[in-house]
Structure 1
Amino acid sequence: MDNGALPRLRAGPGTSPAENETVTPWVLVCNSAAGNESWQDETVTRGQANLRRQSGAQAVYELMRAKIILGEFRPGARLTEPELASTLGVSRTPVREALRLLIAEGLVDQLPTGGSRVTPLDPADIRRVYDIRARLEGLLARDACTRMTQPDLDALARLIDLMHRLRGDETEVLRIGREFHARIAEIAENRWCDQLLHQIRGHVDRYRSLSTREPGRPDLAVTEHQAIYEALASGDPERAEQAMRVHVEQSANSAAQAAGAVPG
């Protein structure tokens, strides 16, 4: 037997450690009647079960979140655990945990009756979210402008070129636009802005998908991204910030108009 740290002995038949207790991975179980010792890796087994449960809940959360953002779960729609579990082909446990995460993110409302619903769209709320986004992304553009290298500009130029070539494809314009913004944030290296934007990311993504529904909006977005790129290339931080804010504010106008046409 190893003379190092001894494993913790089980207190008795049928007992188990508390769920949150730190337990030595290998538990020695003494069978006094038979005089035998057997080893059971109880902690690893329990940890694997927790990991599977957490992974399942995360997958359900991401799927439900995507359906809310894309409008497949309509604003104001009631959400019930049994129906969601049946529709998604999972048990109620990951659905319950996913709903908890979505409520914390503000994409789902907890009702006084104990049920839940997709958070309704509110044009006034859209304005508030986009005002915060405009300020934060404007700051990121300003910071990125002062740190921009030629390889950075080349990478952004390739995205702009791709956006121009696919400007008739709403889905692709949206995807490339997200990549463009993410690249600017990466160049800026402003951790605090990133963290604050992350807190409203679910709402930004939801309203961003709305903004592209306005006829002609994807085409205008390409022009606005071109203006942001040119401002960054000019080396003028104030111009870069202003171009980004104009783009976000125009997106807010489109999203608010689209929200007014969506029931709920």
Structure 2
Amino acid sequence: MTRGQANLRRQSGAQAVYELMRAKIISGEFRPGARLTEPELASTLGVSRTPVREALRLLIAEGLVDQLPTGGSRVTPLDLADIRRVYDIRARLEGLLARDACTRMTQPDLDALARLIDLMHRLRGDETEVLRIGREFHARIAEIAENRWCDQLLHQIRGHVDRYRSLSTREPGRPDLAVAEHQAIYEALASGDPERAEQAMRVHVEQSATSAAQAAGAVPS
């Protein structure tokens, strides 16, 4: 048994299996369209079939796994139209969060965002870190905005957003562009202009959508 499998056993069963499988789908380790079987997953993860079955149920409800007519399941394939729909919703919601955050921004908030931007610039060659810091930047804006309705709606599509966001960074040059876009969002927020902040956020999300769609076209289903 590997260390990861031992840790998995100590965690809360189905929830731990769900989180692990979800992470593998988002990262692409479980490839789009790949068949998922309970016995194989249970063996690979070192758990019984019961938590695997519950994890699959949660992933099907989230739309990250498809239930097949035969009774099996598979990782939901990538779909270009779906990418556009998800990102359109994300652009509208995150744009509103940026607008709201701009009206509530304090100097300590700006300082915290500035530190993330500085860190992103220094680590711009590491796409994994750029992605991680970007998530933290967006989360901080959402926290400042205090718009629970936007938060809840984004949470409902979070798995798909994370999946396509991870995909978008695979495009050559995309991490560098993402750093520049986050810099533009920060400057818009610092300007105190809510409309500018919303527009900067929407431009960033729409550019991410284009990169995700291009990357999806190069990923076998």
Which TM-score tier does this pair reach, normalised by the shorter chain? over 0.9
Structure 1 residue 239 displacement after superposition:
0.1
Choose between structure 1 and 2 for higher RCO, CA contacts under 8 A separated by at least 6 residues. Answer: 2
The 2-side partners of 1:202 and 1:155 are apart by 26
Bigger proportion of residues as helix: 2
State the partner residue of 1:207. Answer: 164
CA contact (8 A) 1:214 1:258 kept: yes
The 1-side partners of 2:71 and 2:143 are apart by 41
The alignment-based identity, stated in percent, is 97
CA contact (8 A) 2:104 2:145 kept: yes
Q: Any gaps of 5 or more consecutive residues in structure 2?
A: none
The 2-side partners of 1:237 and 1:60 are apart by 41
Determine which of 63, 69, 82 is the counterpart of 1:106: 63
The 1-side partners of 2:103 and 2:148 are apart by 16
CA-to-partner distance for each residue in 1:104-144, whole Å, 9 max, x for gaps? Answer: 00000000111000000001100000000000000000000
Quickly say closer, same or farther: Cα 1:178–1:75, change in 2 above 3 A. Answer: same
Structure 1 residue 48 displacement after superposition:
21
The 2-side partners of 1:49 and 1:78 are apart by 25
The 1-side partners of 2:48 and 2:97 are apart by 42
State the partner residue of 1:226. Answer: 183
Which consecutive aligned stretches of 4+ in structure 1 deviate over 2 angstroms post-superposition?
44-54
TM-score by length of 2: 0.95
The 1-side partners of 2:3 and 2:211 are apart by 49
CA contact (8 A) 2:170 2:215 kept: yes
Structure 1 residue 47 displacement after superposition:
26
Quickly say closer, same or farther: Cα 1:225–1:49, change in 2 above 3 A. Answer: closer
CA contact (8 A) 1:141 1:244 kept: yes
SS in 1 for 2:70: coil
Q: Aligned pairs, how many?
A: 221
CA-to-partner distance for each residue in 1:6-38, whole Å, 9 max, x for gaps? Answer: xxxxxxxxxxxxxxxxxxxxxxxxxxxxxxxxx
The 1-side partners of 2:171 and 2:9 are apart by 41
Quickly say closer, same or farther: Cα 1:60–1:129, change in 2 above 3 A. Answer: same
The 2-side partners of 1:49 and 1:243 are apart by 45
Quickly say closer, same or farther: Cα 1:101–1:235, change in 2 above 3 A. Answer: same
Structure 1 residue 226 displacement after superposition:
0.2
Quickly say closer, same or farther: Cα 1:172–1:48, change in 2 above 3 A. Answer: closer
CA-to-partner distance for each residue in 1:17-69, whole Å, 9 max, x for gaps? Answer: xxxxxxxxxxxxxxxxxxxxxxxxxxx99999999999200000000000000
CA-to-partner distance for each residue in 1:60-102, whole Å, 9 max, x for gaps? Answer: 0000000000000000000000000001000000000000000
Which of the two has higher C-alpha Rg?
1
TM-score by length of 1: 0.80
The 2-side partners of 1:98 and 1:62 are apart by 8
Q: Any gaps of 5 or more consecutive residues in structure 1?
A: 1-43
The 2-side partners of 1:192 and 1:236 are apart by 22
The 1-side partners of 2:200 and 2:60 are apart by 34
